[in-house]
Amino acid sequence: MKDSIKDYVLQLLNAAGIGVNGDKPWDIQIYNPNFYQRVFKGRSLGLGEAYLDTWWDCQRLDQFFERLSKAGIEKKVKSSPIMLLKLALFRFINFQTKKRALEVGRKHYDLGNELFKAMLDSRMNYTCGYWRKAKNLEDAQRDKLDLVCQKLMLKPNLRVLDIGCGFGAWARFAAEHYGVSVVGITISKEQAEYARQYCAGLPIEIRFQDYREVNEPFDRIVSLGMFEHVGHLNYSTYMKRVQACLKDEGIFLLHTIGNNQSYLNTDAWIRKYIFPNGLIPSIAQIAKATEGVFVMEDWHNFGADYDKTLMAWQANFQDHWHHIKNNYDERFYRMWNYYLLSCAGVFRARNLQLWQIVFSKQGVEGGYQAPRLKVYKQELITNV
């Protein structure tokens, strides 16, 4: 039985061009003979936990996962009865209620601001950068912030809602450079406290608040990297809440990771260790939730840029680990590297996307002109 399980796992690896104990950077080095049974039984969760327990290693995890993803290994693995039962639960149980939604704030975004300072750019953007003209992470994140402002057609004195405001990067940029006022909401206490200090002195209000609790008018609404925590049973609720808060002539920009197919749950390892209760939406799921609610003005995909962003984050994390390692252990170090590099590989394989979608309530009069190559206009913006 053990030999047949080993042969099965080796066939899957071979299908992706991955060798065992080989000399290629994407080959894996196996240190525990129970590796095969653990992976067979636990699928992606077993693979990830075996890595955390140092049962195997790989010189380039990003290339390893790129090959697994391109080969479609996940689709070749047959679902067990237990996995099918769990899938049925995800279909009917709301794992993103107001109470459950707070879990990702506590378990991920409240891990410690020093960790994110070590990993992110100086503005603390924890979403994909825009690398069209940028040569480094700092420029890519600045260009992303300005691209969003341009797409929202910001002008002075507009009132903007930032759903999932993170550490306050976009709110501060928009207030400083475009003269708008911002209400930012987050379900992370650590982010809220940091954002309040970071945005002090500007027309910005940061709230520890769930999106379902907002009920007031805004000229613009933006959400950068938060929709992944909403869940398929709440997509319609989310969109209707945005519609109710958006003025008739308003514009809504949704920036989210996107899936090529519709799923009801996410990768088991990511769900357990990184983003509890998360779910990556598909085109079909977003379309269904927005049908009859919004006019879709523009759909922009720059998913390949997330590969560059994640690799830059991982390099920063690696370079600054010695400054923060007293707050974490070696298992966390392996977990965080596994998270960043596995995600980079999947984006590089183009199995995950990054979408910026612009919506209006009634259609922009005369048509919407979508910015693409326009990035940070220094001649029009002060306080650089």
According to CATH, the superfamily of the domain at 98-380 is: Vaccinia Virus protein VP39 (3.40.50.150)
pLDDT at res. 73: 83
pLDDT at res. 265: 84
CATH 3.40.50.150-classified regions of the chain? 98-380
Provide the 8-state DSSP code for 34. Answer: T
Lowest mean pLDDT among 2-16, 24-38, 272-286: 2-16
pLDDT band for 108, please (50, 70, 90 cuts).
confident
| Catalytic residue from among 58, 128, 149, 343 | 343
pLDDT band for 56, please (50, 70, 90 cuts).
very high
C-alpha span between 242 and 204 (Å, rounded): 19
Long-range contacts from 270-273, C-beta under 8 angstroms, 24+ separation = 270/339, 272/45, 273/48, 273/335, 273/339
Provide the 8-state DSSP code for 190. Answer: H
Contact 342, 65 (CB under 8 A): yes
Report CA dihedral (298, 382, 142, 139) to the nearest 10 degrees: 130
Tell me the pLDDT tens digit for each residue of 155-207.
999 999 999 999 999 999 999 999 999 999 999 999 999 999 999 999 999 99
pLDDT band for 382, please (50, 70, 90 cuts).
very low
Q: Which residues contact 346 (CB under 8 A, 6 or more apart)?
A: 65, 66, 69, 352
Active site residue 149: no
